[in-house]
Structure 1
Amino acid sequence: MKEITFDHIYNPGHEIGENELYKHIHFPEMLTRYDSNFLKFKKHPTLAEFKEAALFLREFHQSKGQKHVKFLFPDDHKPSKELMDYFKDEGYEAGYNELYFIEPGQFPILEDTTDIEVREVTEAELNAYLAFQYEQDMEYGPDFADQKVDMHKRNFQNPRLVQLLAFYKGTPAGSVDVIIEDHTAEIDGLMVHETFQKKGIGARLQQFVMKQFPDKTVILVADGEDTPRLMYRKQNYRCLGFRYEVQKVYE
């Protein structure tokens, strides 16, 4: 397996600037998507450097009508105690993500069921997929959900990206996007409707990916402080590393 890092994770944001300390990622197509509008530090900043970078990004985002700032730190290193204390004092949300991988043949064998059907989204399933996504995205407000519709439609036209929709007894119940690269298939946005939790739908979506792309390494990112990562470990995924990030939302 070739070395895989967080740099292999798909992000639709555009790199619009870079200096010795950080890269500036911006996504004007969806300004409310925090994960595509941020600064990515190339090395760990001092407190003074972070404050200067935060002021720059705050002013840049304000000029675009954005109400957040977000920062990614170098892989596999926790920010200094001085920085972590500053984040807490200033109301930043700090956390970390973990990067996982699995070879498709290592995924557990699942029992057959007729209740769950997974389909690749075509024109026939697109409206059902968009409606399912919209319902989930409304948790973050109508503006976000509306912008995500446009993003999903763009993704539908992207040959590198496969959208999957799972049905439970004929009702849309879960979805995932798969980003296809030369050596990897990345699972992104895996979700199951709360009504259909604990029925094995998430596992069926993953199983579909394993069968469709048996010659690729399957990768995904999980919240390092959330329970899904425990499920991935039970399914034979292995952790490759972690990355800290912080964000702040201004009202």
Structure 2
Amino acid sequence: MTKWTFDHIETIGHLIDENDLYKHYHYPEMLIRYDSNFMEFKRMPSLQELKEVEHNQKVYHQQHHQNHIKFEFPDNQKPTFELINYLEKNGYEVGFLELYSIQPKAFPAVEPNPDIKVLEVMDNHFEDFVELQYSQDIKNGKAFAEEKVKLNERQRRDDKYIKVIAYYEGKPAGTMNVILSDQAVEIDDLEVRDEWQRKGIGSRLQRFVMDKFPDSTIILVADGEDTPKEMYQKQNYQYQGFKYEALKIKKS
């Protein structure tokens, strides 16, 4: 039986350096995307090691005109009090993610709703998909939203990505990215417009994946401190582990 870890989650970024302590990811195609430009510790660092890696990442990001520093820590290990204390005192947001998996047959049945239509994005739906994601991404700033459009264009040409859109009463209401690999199918970036929350749109987006890939394991990541994970637990997803991360953004 496969043990699912965060290594099964896709990292959009290029591995540019690796040693016994960490992996360094960089993504010049989207420098503003924090989840693509970071250092991932392979083992828990000492405070001195963290400070050295912090300095190295700071210098590297300054050279590339990036205004953030981000670390990810090893799976299922909480940073020591000393590390968390240092990070929080120095302006980092420290949080954790949770990994879940499910076999499609375990996903609850979803009652048909003629008001909701879920489709794989083809050329005639792509503009709706991009516009809806832009309206959600603009919350993170115009620059990020515009770069995300370019990312969607790149992924559109890659067969390992499937874009999915949900319409509610004929209007674009929700989007989802699906990432294919040899081992699993990953759900990512599932979003539903605020005004159409709690209408079953998110469940029907997921149901689309379950029906399309009935023999695959479906995996996803949830914010460990946010409410969507409670929905996944109610939908029979199985908890697989956690990962701590720390992010510091320099104020302009």
Asked whether the two chains share a fold, i.e. TM above 0.5, the reply is: yes
Instruction: Give the superposition deviation at 1:3.
Output: 2.3
- Give, in whole Å, the separation in 1 of the partners of 2:21 and 2:182: 30
Find the counterpart in structure 1 of residue 5 from structure 2: 5
RMSD over aligned Cα atoms? 0.7
Residues 1:36 and 2:33 aligned together? no
What amino acid sits opposite 1:108 in the alignment? P
* 2:173 partner letter: A
Q: CA deviation at 1:4?
A: 1.6
Which string of whole-angstrom CA distances, capped at 9 and with x for unpartnered residues, describes residues 65-99 of structure 1?
10000000000010001001111111110000000
Match of 2:163 in 1: 163
- 1:23 & 1:235 partners in 2: Cα distance? 34
2:239 is equivalent to residue 239 of structure 1: yes
1:229 partner amino acid:
K
- Partner-residue secondary structure (3-state), 1:125: helix
Task: Give me the whole-angstrom Cα distance separating, in 2, the residues matched to 1:142 and 1:242.
Answer: 31
SS at match of 2:158: coil
**Structure 1 SS opposite 2:145:** helix
Question: Superposition pairs for residues 204-223 of structure 1, below 5 Å?
Answer: 204-223=204-223
- CA offset at residue 19 of structure 1? 1.5
Q: Distance in 2 between matches of 1:132 and 1:250?
A: 28
SS at match of 1:151: helix
Alpha-carbon distance in structure 1 between the residues aligned to 2:32 and 2:111: 40
Give the structure-2-normalised TM-score: 0.98
Who is 1:194 aligned against?
A: 194
Partner of 1:46: 46
Q: What SS does the aligned partner of 2:148 have? A: helix
Question: Is 1:226–2:226 an aligned residue pair?
Answer: yes
> Could you list the runs of 5+ residues in structure 1 that have no partner in the other structure?
none
Shift of 1:155: 0.9
1:17 counterpart residue number? 17
Write out per-residue CA displacement over residues 15-43 of structure 1, whole angstroms, 9 at most, x where no aligned residue.
00011210100000000000000000011
In 2, Cα distance between equivalents of 1:152 and 1:165? 13
The yes-or-no answer on 1:93 pairing with 2:96 is no
Query: Tell me, what secondary structure is at the counterpart of 2:239?
Result: strand
Q: Secondary structure at the match of 1:110?
A: coil
1:2 Cα deviation from its structure 2 partner? 2.0
What is the CA–CA distance in structure 2 between the aligned matches of 1:193 and 1:17, rounded to whole Å? 39
Cα deviation code 1:116-147 (max 9, x no counterpart): 00000000101111111111111111111111
Alignment of 1:80 onto 2:102: no
Count of aligned pairs between the two proteins: 251
Percent identity of paired positions between Structure 1 and Structure 2:
49
